[in-house]
Amino acid sequence: MSSTENTFPIVWNRMLRAIWMAVIVCISACTAIDRPRSSPSDAQVTGGTIRPALDRILNQGEVQVAEGHLRDFGYDPGPVDGLFTAQTQAAVRAFQARYGLSISGLLDRQTRQELLPGLDQDEFDP
């Protein structure tokens, strides 16, 4: 029996171990991605029940409505396409400055209440 015949099973065993480790790492990464990103610390407790935090990420349709409202108020958010661009952010900053809001350039809750009244009411009021 030569030495190459003895090393073949060892090499094959190491390759299988490496493949299994890669599979385990991939599965771990996939399950970590699916975990919820909010926790009770990110939520408000109202009347003993946990509710989502009031500041949230807007979907493309909501951003598009906000861009339309900014345009109606005389600000130029760029194309009314639902994409939050630097030009949209500049229009939001100008709107916030004009109406005495904290200037963040974001469509935060305070800005949404002025620009999009009633948008958050459906989701958070029972």
Query: Under CATH, what is the fold of the domain 60-124?
Result: Muramoyl-pentapeptide Carboxypeptidase; domain 1 (1.10.101)
| 5-54 pLDDT per residue, tens | 667 677 788 888 888 877 777 676 665 554 444 444 444 444 555 444 44
Q: What angle do CA 91, 55, 28 make, to 5 degrees?
A: 115
State the Cα–Cα distance between residues 39 and 36, nearest whole angstrom.
Answer: 8
Name every residue whose Cβ is closer than 8 Å to that of residue 76 and which is 6 or more positions away in sequence: 70, 87, 91
Nearest Cα residue to 72 out of 95, 93, 101, 90: 95
pTM for this model (two decimals): 0.54
Domain boundaries, the chain: 3-51, 60-124
